Amino acid sequence: MRKPLVALVGRPNVGKSALFNRLVGQRKAVVSEVPGTTRDRLFGEVEWNGTLFNVVDTGGLEIYQPKRGQHSPLEEGSERFVDEIRAQALIAIEDADVIVFVVDAIQGITAADREVAEVLHRSAKPVLVAANKADSPQRRADAFEFYGLGMDEVFPVSALHGTGTGDLLDAIVEALPYRPDASAFDQADDEDESIRIAIVGRPNVGKSSLLNRLLGQERAIVSPVPGTTRDAVDTALTWNEMPITLIDTAGIRRRGRIEPGVEKYSVLRALKAIERADVCLLVIDATEGVTQQDAHIAGMIREAMKSAVVVVNKWDAVEKDTHTMNEYMETIRRDLAFMPYVPVLFVSALTGQRIHTVLETAIQVQEERLVRIPTSELNEIVREAMLRHAPATKQPRPLKIFMAQQVRVDPPTFLFHVNDTRLLHFTYERYLENQIRRHYPFTGTPIRLSFRPRDEKRAGVTPRRSTR
């Protein structure tokens, strides 16, 4: 059963994102006092009195055009995306079952509010007016002037303090064309069994273009201007009967270049997207090659123990001969030497070249992440490895590995019982990992090796953990 969709619309800087955060119960949208902060549609789930529905935050419908010499009230850079922001909001209106028209109770009715109201009247959808910033009895009383917009109901609310939102939610549930009970969605659905794939990278490498190409629709705003995407936007789809959640993220700049305020929080959300992803698509600009920041982002994926696929985008813009791809691959392997296990794809989001391989590879990588090696087979691999190359040591006694076992998947984690962890050199850890990968590649996936003395009390040392 599909959850009903509620869209929050209105002109910029009336508090749509703040109200969105209040309704979904978490700080999911970037909130700023500067108009034009929200650009893409952002989805969240709400449960109210046993009824589940989705709510979508949108960018502003009205874009102020300043006169010559006047400063635009929009956030710097947002005025360049006027048409795209409006298009995203109109798509949300078309998809919605109920519309919440958010207005500013402090400013009262503006000409821009009337323009938005005309658009909503033409939609023929149920429309509720949320007069936001009604933080005092006087403002709540003044909010009823918004009945002049011709809507059926007006609800004075404060997204900041939460007042009035209960009445608004009651009205939303009442206006829904159908009310799916929360119990109708089983626990598996609630826990989200989809494969979560995050699209990450520097600004302006084509992350949103890749998302749109994968979806086959203009789901996200695409622009050649760096920094277009601000929030980590989740999009659900089914590919070959497999549920997938694609997470488009803001571009991750170098730490020294991150501006305070909205951009800083956007980058934090991108990092959180990496944390909750199963597989990360690291998008690299083929025309620029692997930069230091690309390697830094790859390191963050590695530290988070997430699986990865390197997607070299804009491959159509590179002048090529028969050796170009191999030379490019060698460069990537050298610059990302700490991730030799990741697959590399050469694609073009603009032309669609090899796009079909992206999700296919990501799913294969996720399957590798869940592989479990039987204990007997793992110990045979380790025994063969030690016979082929015994551990070198300067100590009077050599390293002995008594048993190895895989203690978990996601990520694959292996526990080695040894006589003394102090006898283990990091180069032998790397050797053991390579021997395991000879039999089980774990393509795109880091693995964790942990070493524990068989008699910890006698050894007098703590277990040793390594991540590879």
pLDDT tens digits for range 109-130: 988 888 888 888 888 889 999 9
Give the number of other CB atoms < 10 A from CB of residue 378: 20
Confidence grade of residue 26 (pLDDT, cut at 50, 70, 90): low
Distances in whole angstroms, Cα of residue 31 to Cα of each of 26, 35, 129, 159, 457: 12, 10, 20, 11, 53
- In this prediction, residue 75 carries a pLDDT of 42
pLDDT of residue 38: 43
Is 418 in contact with 400 (CB distance < 8 Å)?
A: yes
Long-range CB pairs of 386-389, under 8 A, 24+ apart, other chains included:
388/435, 389/431
pLDDT band at residue 27, thresholds of 50, 70 and 90? low
- Global model pTM greater than 0.95: no
pLDDT score of 60: 57
Report the amino acid identity of residue 208: S
**Lowest mean pLDDT across 5-14, 17-26, 144-153, 225-234:** 225-234
126-173 per-position pLDDT tens digit: 999 999 999 999 999 999 899 999 988 999 999 988 999 999 999 999
Amino acid code (one letter) for 314: K
Q: Where are the alpha helices (DSSP H) in 157-291?
A: 165-175, 187-190, 207-215, 262-276
Task: Output the pLDDT for position 318.
Answer: 92
pLDDT band at 306 (very low <50, low <70, confident <90, very high): very high
User: pLDDT at position 165, please?
Assistant: 93
Whether residue 337 has pLDDT greater than 90? yes
Secondary structure element (H or E) that encloses residue 379, with its range: helix 375-388
Most confident of the ranges 174-178, 332-336, 394-398: 332-336
pLDDT category at 190 given cuts 50, 70, 90 is very low
Domains annotated on the chain, with CATH: 5-184 (3.40.50.300), 192-369 (3.40.50.300), 375-467 (3.30.300.20)
Whether the per-residue pLDDT at 258 is higher than 50: the answer is no
Q: Report residue 269's pLDDT band, with 50, 70 and 90 as the boundaries.
A: low
First-to-final CA distance of the chain: 42
pLDDT class of 78 with cuts at 50, 70, 90: very low
For the chain, the average pLDDT equals 81
Handedness of CA 139, 144, 145, 149 (dihedral sign): positive
CA angle 128, 132, 134 (to 5 degrees): 120
Q: Does 227 have pLDDT greater than 70?
A: no
Residue showing tokens 């007069």:
131
Q: Which of 177, 25, 162 is nearest to 99 (CA)?
A: 177
Please state, in angstroms and rounded to a whole number, the distance separating the CA atoms of residues 313 and 290: 11
Q: What is the mean pLDDT of residues 211-237?
A: 65
Is 466 or 22 the better-scoring residue by pLDDT? 22
Distance CA 229, CA 455 (A): 53
Task: Give the residue-averaged pLDDT of 189-204.
Answer: 80
